[in-house]
Copies of this chain bind each other. A is one copy, B any other.
């Protein structure tokens, strides 16, 4: 009997609503499987906490989180707290503090009607992004010169280390091996303009390509990649990208899947020195928060990614099958998918399907 200790940070806005559904699904699975249990500890960190306590999380927050097998996060950010505070002091702090240098994001279409592109079949959109998640453009290094004057200059420095870049690319190559789709890694660059960071990125990609000779490789500039993702999504398998490029292209990818309601993600520390964090790609969506309108599928898919990480791929499979089945009954889905169901009802339905699948 495995008993997992999970830290739960619902965060802000719809993060709170979808988290309930993710937990519901995990509880349903543990009820059906006596050999797995979850102990959830809830943390009310986020923007409300900030407005009360002047901080996004406790000073010893990372210390507190360290002991868990995994972290589930809903979403962070709310009007009234500047984004660069709410995100830097909680989300990015955990990603960086726990060296979760892999951000894993599957882009997979489940039903053709949800794709905004003409003439796409479900199998046309099935790729996975390996996004660097702790450094690069997000290093947070920079400053202002002559602040507030007409001669002001703002600097922002990207920091790429060989150590992390190598490990991210290795992860991507290993993943391409295990996926058995095209046995291909696509690297996203912009070395024609970013003459240090991306020239460096290309150099390391080339080195790794020479090691993994059984894996096909290609390298596109980020602008071209955004185009090819629309023009020939079927040609992608594993895509490796920097923090910023991965951020942009996975939102684009989410759109091809049918929107952020389907976009699951994991922030992984592959060495397991620290807990990994599982987090859907959508934000806190303040404009629809608190109304039961949020699509919980991304969160539930994210819970599946946690189960995979903990070694329970069979249970993860069951979640995916149930999501796909739930998509057959469109009126019961949330409004973003054309239905009139609530967040809560969609979660309930998926749990019922899980129970029925047995």
Contacts and interface: CB of A to CB of B under 8 A. Distances in A.
Given A116-B117, A142-B196, A194-B137, A152 B162 contact: yes
Interface in A236-280: 243-244, 247-252, 254-255, 259-260
Contacts of A117: 116-118
A1 interface: no
Interface residues of A, number: 63
A356 interface: no
A201 B155 CA distance: 11
Q: Which 9 A-B pairs have the closest CB atoms?
A: A142-B196, A154-B200, A156-B197, A83-B192, A223-B251, A152-B162, A154-B160, A87-B192, A84-B195
A157 B254 CA distance: 29
Interface string A130-158: 00000001101011100001111111111
Contacts of A199: 84, 154
A243 B142 CA distance: 18
A52 interface: no
A252 B252 contact: yes
A190 B244 CA distance: 9
Interface string A217-241: 0000011101100110000000000
A91 to B, nearest CB: 9
Contacts of A118: 116-118
18 contacts: A82-B191, A84-B192, A88-B192, A92-B193, A116-B230, A116-B231, A142-B196, A155-B158, A155-B159, A155-B196, A156-B160, A222-B247, A223-B248, A226-B249, A226-B251, A226-B255, A230-B252, A231-B255
A174 interface: no
A163 interface: yes
Given A144-B200, A160-B154, A162-B151, A195 B231 contact: no
Contacts of A252: 223, 226-227, 230, 252
Q: Which of A149, A192, A222, A251 has the most CB of B within 10 A?
A: A192
